[in-house]
Amino acid sequence: MTRIIYDDVSAMRPEYIEDIGDCTEVIYENRETYIVEQNIKSVLRTMAHYYNTDLKANRINYGEVLNIVNNVPIVFSDKHILVPFKARKPLNKRDGAYGYVNLYKYADCGKLDKTNYILLNNSIKLKLNQRLRPFKKRLSLAVQLINERR
């Protein structure tokens, strides 16, 4: 695969890759993964460009609707609402800590051996570096955006 297929994205998370640096792992519905040699912020910008969405306006408008300021769910279309989750502890100041899971590809979250995880519809488990309660709150806020006018 040589480019991202945006319509099939189930989740994205930041990854450190040796000899390359800060990259983004894109996980698709069919369980395939694709490593993009860009940080998560750049991948989000190109995805927003693909969907003709202004990320700043998204944050302002939906932040007001949900009464939150930080980590606002990103709405690209009726079928693509990305919910942020803490994926890692960043090594540098500019490294992203948050990954994104598509609300419609999310199945469940839980705890296994003192490690929190997110389970996707395609049975892939993503490590969650935060408590379950704040993540579930973000999910419930994102569900409120399903019926919101775009």
The answer to whether residue 1 is domain-embedded is: no
What is the arrangement of strands in the sheet containing 125-128, beginning at the earlier edge strand?
106-112, 115-120, 125-128
The answer to whether residue 149 is domain-embedded is: no
Strand partners, 23: 15
* pLDDT by 10-residue block (mean), the chain, 150 residues: 83 91 92 92 94 94 92 91 91 84 93 91 92 93 82
The answer to whether residue 88 is domain-embedded is: yes
Q: What is the pLDDT of residue 22?
A: 87
Domain, as residue range, for 84: 6-144
Q: What is the pLDDT of residue 28?
A: 93
Residue 24: CATH number of its domain: 2.40.50
The answer to whether residue 131 is domain-embedded is: yes
The answer to whether residue 59 is domain-embedded is: yes
In 3D, which of 22, 20, 28, 19 has the Cα closest to residue 1? Answer: 28
Q: What is the pLDDT of residue 148?
A: 74
Residues 6+ apart with CB under 8 A from 32: 1
Please give the DSSP secondary-structure letter assigned to residue 116.
E
The answer to whether residue 30 is domain-embedded is: yes
Residues 6+ apart with CB under 8 A from 53: 74, 75, 76
The answer to whether residue 150 is domain-embedded is: no
By 3-state DSSP, what share of the chain in percent is helix, strand and coil, each rounded to 5?
30, 35, 35
CB 39 within 8 A of CB 91: no
pLDDT tens digits, 51-66 = 999 999 999 999 999 9
Q: What is the tally of structural domains in the chain? A: 1
